[in-house]
Structure 1
């Protein structure tokens, strides 16, 4: 086949892919260059192009042409289920048979693998997590590597820990690349990579150095996007502004928030104000996510209120706007998210509404980065001494890391060759391993620089699109002529007093239910605690209440400064005390409350017990005293620390380590024990902050054993 014939065939596949019946569809020049390299020359290519450029057209057209030449199926490593669903539908339009293997269709895996073996599948989409599943890695991957006709790495910036969205599972691709026959072409694509990330991805994919790989990097300017920033005094003003102006934004779109709690708050408020919106977060059930995606695609909702769970892979070409209620910590992440809009429309609005809480949220996520060397070494030592592979639940009690952070660390160590995931869990390989402190420190400095860049983006007087392009090292960066700084701002801070009053009322609404711990964590025996299974009912706390969440934009913004590790101790502010009393009143009258008339509800509390605190004794003491005064009940006393208590208790450790530190740390003083014995009813257990719930669980167990009829926890804040 001549080059002209190949080009003609490629354009014909494109026409089917985009539904063009006139035959006028033509590949862009860089699209054709990538396809030619993959199909005619079996080369490796890295394509860095803006969202909406048509990267998926490259691999679908190349797949059709390669399959026509007798090549095996294309394997696409894709990070998000939303992206997979969109791509399966797109492939079908071009007559390409696509199937997926991911966490949501485990019951189909055997059937899909059989279809691949029978040659009935043209495209297999695989989530990166599958690459390190022992069965898939050892049984399926070798056969797949031998049969693959084209390997595609979508959202390839995830492979680089220099980037904003590093995912260690992606690093497993090096193994697959090493096992590929030399004549199998490879395509990596991304829209969000600066020069450093591009070089790193190219190197890891074997497309760097002295190879003849094709690197296609295009301009990142988006002619359809009109960028703007609107600074408003507080969260209530931002919510009210959205309620008043959401209907003015073109078409349907996405409202991004930084936390799940904020997404839920914003969704509830906008619905109350008559807007058709849906929430989309990492906690949204898979079926609800699919429904939300379908509703947005069909314009049945004005907006999805989403966290970064919707950051990649959602394909709606006519998305009319993207608004951010809170600033992402990285301009590259921000560019990626706003790039969802305006792909097939002439004009789309992009608006950032930064908030005072943004920086605290950035700091929290930065605090759970790659662990320090001591923790890593301890984990390696535990695995080395183990007589058999350790599962995450078995390993977790032995190290001071929460499970999600531990799992991420193990995946990095797996890529580095220090550990290996096998059936039954994880095992140490015995291979030498070096803690790359210099690299981790550089990445941390890069994150700090990115945060400063987002502050600068919000305050710059220059072109906003040019600013983002320069952050991604786009050599073609130039003033766009469309943003609020290049032209006239399109939005003002005007909003209705009614919307503002309603927003203030909603954000001022206090009270979050606190579910008690009912089960001991697994593996307590490994840390010397002989407890397992269900906590006896007679030793549990009842359901409790918190004034608010630290991650929300209402009470969270007020409580966060008060509960900051650097905040000075002091008496509880009167406004906070009054709000807590309001929470108590609502709690009493609500379902299951002691004033609800429910025959199964606990009796009215007869006294207040506070939890000892080394950092905020005055805050907790005065809070307990004010509750007792207003509720006309006595302060029965305070739990105290024992002489054996650890000076510092790991706040962000896993459950077993947290309990190990709490074991024997608290005690019921004799005076409190005497008061409990004669109290004759439930007690309110008052503390400042709940992160894991184990301090409250241990305290409740002690109080119940000392004679408390029931324990009702009451805290100022919960983490999320």
Structure 2
């Protein structure tokens, strides 16, 4: 029986990999997993390196189980890129696969009908679907009762100890509980240390008490040659990349830490003659798919990407991965570099760390699970509500941004304290305890991971061995290939011409600042009678900023000046000159104020400052310098009502910030008189903008006082 099953399994593998000779054979651990799932209907947790062939296990098992009359395999998969690849791979083995995700809602009804009639072998589902009320209540129970095999791909996402925790994955508990007895379950990941492996096993019910098969293999990647190139600043890193990109093998990925940096690097490399494309969380789905296809077909040398291009992207001949900036976790780093070298003998993996890395780490760390008082306020608000509250309705009542609020609610949903229903969220009334110790320990683990990435960049030992030890690989040993084992393969030299071009690109000043045009939803719940579109005569014009805090050009110069602990002082001369250049370009642009330019604004007739309790000298000196260079009168500054500024601190949620700003900003009589006499727009000057609501509310106040237009100008955009 076992030999027959093995023979059939190998035949399916041959079809899957396109081996016409039929000589393909499952690896021993692949076969052990398939046998456990098909012959013994066990649960298995497979932790194996990228490229090992985890997908072969579930596709081969699916084919064998379907031959024996089992229902369809359900694969919970986190990324659309992964789903597209999996559908194509399944077709090669004669397996009919369909997907249900946010990109194809128009197909859901047809797909569900196909599943019901038995023509679908594999259904790929995004984790977010698991807690969609209609899917959870109408589709999931039927699916669970008919499933022949449940697969949890990228299973480290289940654990908040992991590098890519996704609370939607916790919904799998419900599906596992509803599976009929004897339905096999397979969980797979390439990036789980011992703690994450244990946590995933416990949460999936695949711990020792359930007689699970745990297959954990060595994590070496023999094709990867790891290295670190230490360069003095962002301009040197950009110049180095431009000069070395064509020397890297094949096509690959250049990772950045932020969307702004990805766009910045893409623009520079294109200007230097390289064929590259940007791939971030802000890239439209159609453009993402096109970028993936271009990389797969080697029509581009590289995708310049954020972590949005990560798990599941499968290009066996990917020749290199370069990181312009260090991820905050060695586990996340291992996962991203694992995209390279899956089907080639040699791939280059290079890290170019930057001084801005730790600032970006701290920013993302600030988005962790909220403090207890914010969670309690949310629970109390839902408990007091007479109907379900949607995210837009709940947001004005709690001090959390929508994305962070949604993530928190998903965790509370899994914990049983709230439930998502049609129309929004409701309290279940079940008792809930804030796990202070666990959240503090997770934060501590994050800090330890950041320390490990600092050490990775500095280590004189084997880099692959270092990463494998971070993943608790008991077989970790020197690789003989990395720059520390075999010697550096790349120098740090850049030509003066390349450095000059990179410095010019990073020194280019000017970013658009779009004005707010719509009020946040739900302001009525916060006691404000504001809704819909902001009246045109209360809006500002499109504004300008010197740069983004998240980019690697001006961001690196502005962050030290605008940080929470930064000392106040006059605007530095370099910054003042750059602001003047932004003003000059703005005046000459098609939306500027040069006479006769199409769509031009009238020239500003004065300068107004936004008040600040933390950086008054910076803002006042900036306003003075602009007035002096532009030969404009300094009309004055708005002010805060007594005690109002303290109320504004921490109000990052749009609705809460608008509520706090209403009545907080006041117009001094002298400034009001100057505005009443003005016959044109004014420049409104502030240090930086994050939500845009301080500028919007200040603009509204100035327009109501008689300003004929407002042109916002800030040093930085937080984006």
* TM-score (structure 1 length as normaliser): 0.99
**What secondary structure is seen at the aligned counterpart in 1 of 2:433?**
coil
- Aligned residue number for residue 327 of structure 1: 326
Distance 1:617 1:459 in 2: 40
- Aligned residue number for residue 705 of structure 2: 706
- Aligned residue number for residue 624 of structure 1: 623
- Aligned residue number for residue 185 of structure 2: 186
**What secondary structure is seen at the aligned counterpart in 2 of 1:188?**
strand
**What secondary structure is seen at the aligned counterpart in 1 of 2:486?**
coil
Distance 1:651 1:627 in 2: 29
Distance 1:179 1:597 in 2: 70
Structure-to-structure mapping, 1:387-402, within 5 angstroms: 387-402=386-401
Does the CA-based 8 Å contact 1:16-1:93 persist in structure 2? yes
- Aligned residue number for residue 419 of structure 2: 420
Distance 1:652 1:391 in 2: 20
Distance 2:115 2:209 in 1: 35
Distance 1:157 1:359 in 2: 24
Q: Deviations over 1:504-555 (max 9, x none)?
A: 0010000000000011111111111111111111111111000000000000
- Aligned residue number for residue 454 of structure 1: 453
Distance 1:148 1:564 in 2: 53
**What secondary structure is seen at the aligned counterpart in 1 of 2:648?**
coil
CA-CA distance at 1:467 after TM superposition: 0.3
* 1:314–1:439 distance in 2 versus 1, CA, 3 Å: same
Q: Deviations over 1:144-172 (max 9, x none)?
A: 00000000000000000111110000000
CA-CA distance at 1:599 after TM superposition: 5.1
CA-CA distance at 1:182 after TM superposition: 1.3
Q: Give 5+ residue unaligned stretches, structure 1.
A: none
1:288 correspondence with 2:287: yes
Does the CA-based 8 Å contact 2:652-2:691 persist in structure 1? no
Distance 2:268 2:574 in 1: 23
CA-CA distance at 1:499 after TM superposition: 1.1
- Aligned residue number for residue 546 of structure 2: 547
**What secondary structure is seen at the aligned counterpart in 2 of 1:65?**
helix
- Aligned residue number for residue 260 of structure 1: 259
Q: Deviations over 1:421-445 (max 9, x none)?
A: 0011000000000000000000000
Does the CA-based 8 Å contact 2:549-2:716 persist in structure 1? yes
Does the CA-based 8 Å contact 2:590-2:598 persist in structure 1? no
- Aligned residue number for residue 495 of structure 2: 496
**What secondary structure is seen at the aligned counterpart in 2 of 1:546?**
strand
- Aligned residue number for residue 568 of structure 1: 567
- Aligned residue number for residue 236 of structure 1: 235
Distance 1:532 1:282 in 2: 29
**What secondary structure is seen at the aligned counterpart in 2 of 1:315?**
coil
Structure-to-structure mapping, 1:127-276, within 5 angstroms: 127-276=126-275
**What secondary structure is seen at the aligned counterpart in 2 of 1:210?**
helix
**What secondary structure is seen at the aligned counterpart in 1 of 2:570?**
coil
**What secondary structure is seen at the aligned counterpart in 2 of 1:621?**
helix
Deviates more, 1:676-685 or 1:509-518: 676-685
- Aligned residue number for residue 556 of structure 1: 555
Does the CA-based 8 Å contact 1:644-1:664 persist in structure 2? no
CA-CA distance at 1:642 after TM superposition: 1.0
Does the CA-based 8 Å contact 1:321-1:348 persist in structure 2? yes
Distance 1:161 1:367 in 2: 15
RMSD: 0.8
Distance 1:307 1:649 in 2: 32
**What secondary structure is seen at the aligned counterpart in 2 of 1:480?**
coil
Distance 2:397 2:678 in 1: 40
Q: Deviations over 1:348-376 (max 9, x none)?
A: 00000000000000000000100000000
Distance 2:31 2:599 in 1: 71
**What secondary structure is seen at the aligned counterpart in 2 of 1:309?**
coil
Distance 2:255 2:315 in 1: 16
**What secondary structure is seen at the aligned counterpart in 1 of 2:151?**
strand
CA-CA distance at 1:678 after TM superposition: 1.7
* 1:305–1:652 distance in 2 versus 1, CA, 3 Å: farther
Distance 2:714 2:178 in 1: 55
CA-CA distance at 1:644 after TM superposition: 5.2
Q: Give 5+ residue unaligned stretches, structure 2.
A: none
**What secondary structure is seen at the aligned counterpart in 2 of 1:268?**
helix
Deviates more, 1:203-212 or 1:568-577: 203-212
1:468 correspondence with 2:464: no
**What secondary structure is seen at the aligned counterpart in 2 of 1:486?**
helix
* 1:342–1:668 distance in 2 versus 1, CA, 3 Å: same
Distance 1:592 1:467 in 2: 53
The aligned length equals 719
Q: Deviations over 1:192-234 (max 9, x none)?
A: 0000000000011111132211000000010000000001011
Distance 1:596 1:543 in 2: 18
Q: Deviations over 1:310-365 (max 9, x none)?
A: 11110001100000000000000000000000011100000000000000000000
- Aligned residue number for residue 46 of structure 2: 47
**What secondary structure is seen at the aligned counterpart in 1 of 2:714?**
strand
